[in-house]
Amino acid sequence: SYPGRDAFGVVIGVNKAVTVGGVDWFSAGDILTIGRIWPSLTYAPLIWTHTETMQQMVARFGWVDGPPYRRREEPGHRWSMYSATAALVLAKELGATSLECFGVDLMGQQNWDGTDEPTADRSPERWARERVIWEKTRNQLDEAGVEVIRHGHH
């Protein structure tokens, strides 16, 4: 776990952030990311992922806890495309009224911990697409009365 963990009711780790520990939910969209991270975890958070990825995980690992994504998107809004925006939706579905988001810089080549992710698309074009979806998702949550506070880069 990490200092300050107890201040948060539910913690959702996006991709590699789940390795910090003390995370209740693991938000990741693809089997490559989950397959690289899951075997090294010393605990078993619930998993929030796509239905197809969940089926691949069952076949690969033999078991899994947690639901697949609930595909309830508005036309033209693809929150499940990125693990960070999917985590926002999960938090709302779990009943959150305020979200504290750390490490969501939406730019550059490195992860939140300064390491590179050689297989990930970290192009400026990719980040531009994710920023649009992040803002749409944040706006929808705001309209639903859920506050999203993004710490760090803006």
- pTM of the prediction? 0.86
User: How many C-beta neighbours within 10 Å does residue 21 have?
Assistant: 14
* pLDDT per residue rounded down to tens, the chain (154 residues): 566 777 888 999 998 889 988 899 999 888 888 888 888 899 888 888 887 888 888 888 877 666 665 555 555 668 888 899 999 999 998 999 999 998 888 888 777 777 777 667 888 898 899 999 999 999 999 999 999 999 876 5
Give the start-end residues of each E strand in the chain. 12-14, 25-27, 46-48, 98-101, 147-150
Closest CA relative to residue 66, chosen from 104, 28, 37, 39: 28
Amino acid occupying residue 96: A
Whether 87 contacts 27, CB under 8 Å: yes
Question: 116 - beta bridge partners?
Answer: 110
